[in-house]
């Protein structure tokens, strides 16, 4: 049998020269966030194995193979949010959608602490967090056809042309995401970077297994995405927000 039974044909290059799609963010966690990370991580948190990372302490070591039923304590449709930031939008969506589970993935530890603190304060049982490079989780931990939705809200736009290869919305990554979606599942992207929005639309439309639900950018009132502090600042600064919603049509 193959070493990685869920591996997609487009994934193999990443095992021989990883291209990171995110900036490592440094920032001190607040007292609330630190407390949440210390107290609640065993219940809410999952550390993504990363073969390119040297784990210096046992406390930072990756967890075992991803098991959604163990992590959430039930089997329910799973929504993966790539880059959940401080978690406000994730918590809002999970609170309004209790029949689905929400997994917020990020490399920013204070943000993960903030999200699990929000989940505890609001009594949300359908929220969990994953720390690390989500592409490894998609490639090695999540089976084909097992996700109800993937949310990618305001990813790093990597504005310099020489860095465009680091953008997460690329044909290979979109093919991987589409493979992990069930038929009828959606990938929902949002950005306030106009040139990136155009690239997102081009790449998503080019995928043969995805259908554009709105024939272009989705109307803001139709997408059901909570307004975040980041988005409010963008709107205040005059940056237009683009939402794109694509549905998986086949295997």
C-alpha pair distances (Å), 29 with each of 25, 49, 128, 230 = 12, 23, 18, 18
Query: What torsion, rounded to 10 degrees, do the Cα atoms 177, 181, 183, 186 define?
Result: -80
Instruction: Please pick, among 156, 179, 192, 243, the residue that the annotation labels catalytic.
Output: 156
Q: How many CA atoms lie within 13 A of 103 on its CB side?
A: 27
Reply yes or no on whether 237 is catalytic: no
Q: Contact 44/215 with Cβ under 8 angstroms?
A: no
The string of DSSP letters for 103-120 reads EEEES-HHHHHHHHHHHH
* E strand or H helix at 34: helix 31-44
Contacts of 208 (CB under 8 A, 6+ apart): none
As to burial, measured by CB atoms within 10 angstroms (0-12 exposed, 13-18 middle, 19+ buried), residue 251 is exposed
Distance spanning both ends of the chain, measured CA to CA: 22
Active site residues: 156
């Amino acid at each position: 049998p193959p070493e990685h039974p869920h591996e997609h044909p487009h994934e193999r290059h990443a095992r021989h020269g990883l291209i990171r799609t995110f900036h490592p963010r440094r920032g001190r966690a607040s007292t609330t966030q630190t407390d949440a990370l210390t107290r609640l991580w065993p219940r809410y948190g999952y550390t993504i194995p990363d073969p390119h990372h040297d784990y210096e302490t046992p406390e930072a070591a990756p967890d075992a193979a991803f098991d959604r039923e163990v992590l959430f304590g039930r089997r329910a449709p799973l929504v993966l949010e790539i880059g959940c930031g401080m978690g406000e939008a994730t918590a809002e969506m999970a609170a309004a959608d209790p029949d689905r589970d929400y997994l917020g993935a990020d490399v920013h530890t204070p943000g993960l602490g903030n999200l699990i603190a929000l989940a505890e304060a609001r009594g949300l049982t359908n929220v969990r967090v994953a720390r690390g490079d989500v592409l490894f989780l998609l490639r090695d931990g999540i089976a084909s056809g097992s996700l109800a939705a993937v949310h990618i809200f305001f990813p790093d736009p990597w504005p310099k042309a020489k860095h465009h290869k680091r953008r997460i919305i690329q044909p290979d990554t979109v093919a991987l995401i589409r493979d992990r979606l069930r038929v009828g599942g959606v990938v929902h992207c949002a950005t306030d970077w106009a040139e990136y929005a155009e690239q997102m639309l081009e790449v998503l439309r080019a995928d043969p297994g995805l259908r554009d639900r709105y024939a272009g950018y989705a109307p803001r009132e139709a997408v059901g995405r909570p307004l975040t502090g980041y988005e409010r600042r963008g709107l205040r600064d005059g940056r237009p927000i683009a939402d794109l919603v694509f549905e998986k049509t086949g295997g």
